[in-house]
Amino acid sequence: MKLFYAPGACSLGIHIILEEIGVPYEAQAVNLREGEQFKPAFLAVNPKSKVPALLLDHGEILTEWVAIAGYLAATNPQARLVPEDPLEWARATEIMVYVNSYMHGQGFSRIFRPDRFAPNPEDKDAVRAEGRRMFAEGFALMDERLGDKDFLLSHYTIADVALFYVSYWAEGRQTLTLPPRVAAHYARMKSRPAVISAMNAEGLA
Ligand SMILES: N[C@@H](CCC(=O)N[C@@H](CS)C(=O)NCC(=O)O)C(=O)O
């Protein structure tokens, strides 16, 4: 398998899942700052111009964080990265879709790329503020969901990895102060060997 990633992007979560599973894989960086995602070589990998993309051993390419994470977890059951109970499985998906589509796609994107939401430059600050509100709203819900548990569900799953990548954007990039239980979850995640390896590989230590 080959992971197409950008250091510190949401693809960090897939990098972590690959490390958790312990299967052999290659990782190829895509330089988003220089617009490599819009160049023909990468468009052939993912015409949506986004990382992560995962080239599977039989040649198919999988895109979308939630789909890739679910595929890796389902094909590596020994890693126990999803709950066995179907309702808990659906809860994991519920969390990942919320993190990926709302917190990331709506909230953080407004903070990081306000120009994509505000054609008029004078609206950028308002767009950023709305993004911060949405991002914080998501963390508050995750904080409640964690309660007094170490992980979001009955054990560590790919939903925790989804929460980790947005927590990294909040804490690591100093966008927002994490609420206490999410901050403890972030610290817990950072001590996992798979997280340490993926972060080191991306030069984020
Ligand atoms: N829905 C996509 C979103 C992926 C995404 O937004 N990736 C960002 C990095 S975190 C990206 O590649 N951005 C490049 C761009 O938008 O130009 C997924 O879940 O995989």
The response to whether residue 103 sits with its C-beta less than 6 Å from ligand 1 reads no
Please, are residues 16 and 198 in contact by the beta-carbon 8 Å criterion? Answer: yes
The domain limits of the chain are: 2-79, 86-192
Instruction: Quickly state the pLDDT bin for 153 (edges 50, 70, 90).
Output: very high
The response to whether residue 18 sits with its C-beta less than 6 Å from ligand 1 reads no
Atom of ligand 1 nearest to the CA of 109: 6
**pTM exceeding the 0.85 threshold for the entire prediction:** yes
CATH assignment of 86-192, among 1.20.1050.10, 1.20.20.10, 2.60.40.1730, 2.170.190.11: 1.20.1050.10
- Model pLDDT, residue 119: 87
- Model pLDDT, residue 205: 73
Tell me how crowded residue 163 is: count the other CB atoms within 10 A of its CB: 27
Question: Residue whose CA is closest, atom 2 of ligand 1?
Answer: 64
Mutate to test the pocket of ligand 1, among 3, 4, 10, 64 (most ligand atoms within 8 A of CB): 10
Q: Coil, strand or helix: which one is 29?
A: strand
The response to whether residue 49 sits with its C-beta less than 6 Å from ligand 1 reads yes
Mutate to test the pocket of ligand 1, among 4, 32, 50 (most ligand atoms within 8 A of CB): 50
Question: Residue whose CA is closest, atom 15 of ligand 1?
Answer: 50
CA of 148 to the centre of ligand 1 (A): 32
**Mean local confidence (pLDDT), 81-88:** 95
Mind listing the pLDDT tens digit for each residue in 120-136?
999 999 999 999 999 99
Report the mean per-residue pLDDT for the chain.
97
Pinpoint the alpha helices (H) of the chain: 11-21, 40-43, 65-75, 86-97, 109-112, 124-146, 158-167, 180-190, 193-201
Checking if the pLDDT of 180 tops 80, the result is: yes
The response to whether residue 15 sits with its C-beta less than 6 Å from ligand 1 reads no
Instruction: Quickly state the pLDDT bin for 175 (edges 50, 70, 90).
Output: confident
DSSP secondary structure string for all residues of 35-86: TGGGSHHHHTT-TT--S-EEE-TTS-EEESHHHHHHHHHHH-GGG--S-SSH
Question: Residue whose CA is closest, atom 11 of ligand 1?
Answer: 50
In this structure, whether the domain defined by 2-79 belongs to CATH 3.40.30.10 is answered with yes
- Model pLDDT, residue 70: 97
- Model pLDDT, residue 168: 97
Instruction: Quickly state the pLDDT bin for 173 (edges 50, 70, 90).
Output: confident
Instruction: Quickly state the pLDDT bin for 94 (edges 50, 70, 90).
Output: very high
**Mean local confidence (pLDDT), 100-115:** 97
